[in-house]
Structure 1
């Protein structure tokens, strides 16, 4: 090859490379921008999902707060219900029919019914215990009672009534559980 032909070939290669370089640089820039766009879309998608989860969590917490707002007060008022029940249970039958005491007994019974009604309106229910199998999620065994009549593990005595508030335990029932006689 002659010197002139070498120079022409080199010049042709330079021109081809110069033409390809902007195309390659432009292609790289497009690919980079597409990657940035995909990353921005993913970031936006994650941010939206997180915001939606946060909103759901806040709504659930607000619903729980409304549903269980009376929990502390309900626990406190249970002792009043217990004392009223004990008072009613302590009244002998002869006083219940005695004209002097009949009004008082009737008033106490009406108060007990009203208290039960208020509990029901607020989602507070008694836990059934007597004759049920022991459920450690709802009952607290305080003692074992030898019993030939009941299956072991069955509640045969209720020491203190348990309560639920909606689907949550407010207070466990304190119970005596049957065991095989010695």
Structure 2
């Protein structure tokens, strides 16, 4: 029992000893600084990951839009080339309308006219299926996004800037301009 008593006394003695100032604070400060530095690096890394994620989403959206536009407007060059065919067919049909009744009464000529008119209707149908539409111009105000003014004609009947004549029709493919209409515009009389 003397040993137990001595151990208890030694323990009390140790507990009662004044605390020595040891350089324990220095490693704790270094440890705290290291933790702060690591937390700052972690915050920076998190921010970088967020920016990278946002950038990836933006790229994905941009590519999806480009793909949708490519699908929607893939036929633009072909459609633009077909406009000259439509123009020539329209000129042929307009010329037929100007011919005399005697010429139009001929049975052979009637078959030709019927064929040309059917071709014109089919071309308009194909344009419609592919979202290609003619721009309505005459009587409308000049829209520089859809019309190209080729001449100005003095007119007191309509407001200046109103389209009086269409020399070449314009076309849209969906919501984009395929070809601007060439038009004559009213101006204030001198």
Instruction: Please say if 1:48 is aligned against 2:53.
Output: yes
Supply the distance in 1 between the matched residues of 2:149 and 2:106 (Cα, whole angstroms): 39
1:75 Cα deviation (Å)? 0.9
> Gaps spanning 5+ residues in structure 1: where?
1-8
> Gaps spanning 5+ residues in structure 2: where?
1-17
1:167 Cα deviation (Å)? 0.8
Q: Which one of the candidate residues 22, 25, 33 is aligned to 1:28?
A: 33
- The more displaced of 91-100 and 112-121 is 91-100
Q: Which one of the candidate residues 139, 145, 148 is aligned to 1:140?
A: 148
> Number of aligned pairs?
170
1:102 aligned residue: 110
**Helix, strand or coil at the partner of 1:153:** coil
1:19 aligned residue: 24
1:119 Cα deviation (Å)? 0.8
Supply the distance in 2 between the matched residues of 1:90 and 1:58 (Cα, whole angstroms): 48
1:113 aligned residue: 121
Cα deviation, 1:73-120, whole Å, max 9, x if unaligned, reads 111110000000000000026244432211111111111111111111
Instruction: Please say if 1:77 is aligned against 2:82.
Output: yes
1:181 Cα deviation (Å)? 2.8
Supply the distance in 1 between the matched residues of 2:100 and 2:89 (Cα, whole angstroms): 17
CA distance 1:31–1:161, change in 2 (3 Å): same
In the TM superposition, structure 1's runs of 4+ consecutive aligned residues that sit over 4 Å from their partners are: none
**Helix, strand or coil at the partner of 2:24:** helix
**Helix, strand or coil at the partner of 1:137:** coil
2:10 aligned residue: none
Q: Which one of the candidate residues 161, 175, 179 is aligned to 1:171?
A: 179
Q: Which one of the candidate residues 160, 165, 180 is aligned to 1:152?
A: 160
TM-score by length of structure 1 reads 0.88
For the pair shown, the structure with the greater C-alpha radius of gyration is 2
1:124 aligned residue: 132
Instruction: Please say if 1:38 is aligned against 2:43.
Output: yes
Supply the distance in 2 between the matched residues of 1:148 and 1:75 (Cα, whole angstroms): 36
Supply the distance in 1 between the matched residues of 2:30 and 2:79 (Cα, whole angstroms): 73
